Structure 1
Amino acid sequence: MPGARSGGSGGDGSNSGSYSGDASGAVTVWEVVSLLGKLLGTVVALKVVLYLLRVCLAMAWKSGGASHSELIHNLRKNGIIKTDKVFEVMLATDRSHYAKCNPYMDSPQSIESLVFNSFS
């Protein structure tokens, strides 16, 4: 009949649709495992990113102060110093005795030459 639709099958009897699954529409075990693997990988990647962001945001180098006391209190406030004992010891040990310049800047300081020079 002219103008009638063929129903999507080709002249050779094959299905011309793009879906290659079985005719019942059932999902295979492999497809489920593959999807779960992708989801698990995504969750792990997100957890790693969140962990790294939390670590980077909690890192030092933004807790400096104008004095030794202010530096130590800022380190504690920002979660770098977590225990009372460490807080007390850090508060009792002034960095200006060991750092050549900017002792209250919250950044790594070289103390090698000062320590070795004090023993010579």
Structure 2
Amino acid sequence: MSTTAVVFALVGALMVGFSAYSVFAKAEFVVGPLAEYGVPRSWWTWLGVAKAAGALGLVAGLFVPAIGVAAAIGIALYFAGAVLTTFRAKAYAHAVFPIMYAAPAVVALALGFSG
């Protein structure tokens, strides 16, 4: 695995981990839009768990590449769903934020956890 891929995987893990923490801490900049978009409150904890699992998976992928690949794909799908949620809520300007959180994991995936 290249140094660049490692850096992107770690940056992605930090960003997604921070996003998970923000959901658990009910930071207004995260839960406010979730409520605005109509995401049921009962989902919030599970969304945080999914993000935390993705962040941990990216780190584990440094040692077991298959886990990193699965985590990066999961993160990409998770944040693709987040983009669709912003579109459904007609909050088009907010779509950039999930893209920004997904980008490092997608780059790490593209650079190759196995190579």
| Same fold? TM cut 0.5 | no
Task: Report the TM-score when normalising by structure 2.
Answer: 0.25
Computing the radius of gyration from Cα coordinates, the structure with the larger value is 1
Task: Report the TM-score when normalising by structure 1.
Answer: 0.24
Q: Which has the higher helix share?
A: 2
